[in-house]
């Protein structure tokens, strides 16, 4: 379930994402959910609400290329 974050003085969206997810992997998703942030300055206004969506788990699949099939 998504949670809400209320900005404090000096907050930046990249730092909010880093603090809440541990990496910047979710930055694009957070920005997609919070389109209002695209019109804001780099340092966010105190009191701005940000919706933090649930983290998406990524799976990496490694494929080993063998010789030709035929």
Reduced to 3 states, what is the DSSP secondary structure of residue 55? Answer: coil
| pLDDT at site 4 | 96
Range of the domain at 44: 3-52
| 3-60 pLDDT per residue, tens | 999 999 999 999 999 999 999 999 999 999 999 998 999 999 999 999 999 987 767 7
Q: Is residue 18, in this structure, part of any structural domain at all?
A: yes
Tally the domains of the chain.
1
Q: Is residue 67, in this structure, part of any structural domain at all?
A: no
Q: Is residue 16, in this structure, part of any structural domain at all?
A: yes
Q: Is residue 23, in this structure, part of any structural domain at all?
A: yes
| pLDDT at site 65 | 77
Structure-block tokens of residue 39:
């019109």
The band of 61, judged by pLDDT with boundaries at 50, 70 and 90, is confident
Q: What is the CB-side half-sphere exposure of residue 35 using CA atoms within 13 A?
A: 0
Q: Is residue 65, in this structure, part of any structural domain at all?
A: no
pTM across the whole model: 0.76
CATH code where residue 22 lies = 3.10.350
Instruction: Write the burial class of residue 32 (CB in 10 Å: 0-12 exposed, 13-18 middle, 19+ buried).
Output: exposed
| pLDDT at site 69 | 64
Structure-block tokens of residue 51:
């919706």
Q: Is residue 31, in this structure, part of any structural domain at all?
A: yes
């Amino acid at each position: 379930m998504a949670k809400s974050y209320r900005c404090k003085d000096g907050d930046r969206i990249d730092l909010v994402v880093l603090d809440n997810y541990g990496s910047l992997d979710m930055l694009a998703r957070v920005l997609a959910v919070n389109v209002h942030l695209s019109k804001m300055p780099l340092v966010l206004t105190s009191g701005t609400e940000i919706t933090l969506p649930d983290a998406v788990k990524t799976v990496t699949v490694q494929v080993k290329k063998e010789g030709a099939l035929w």
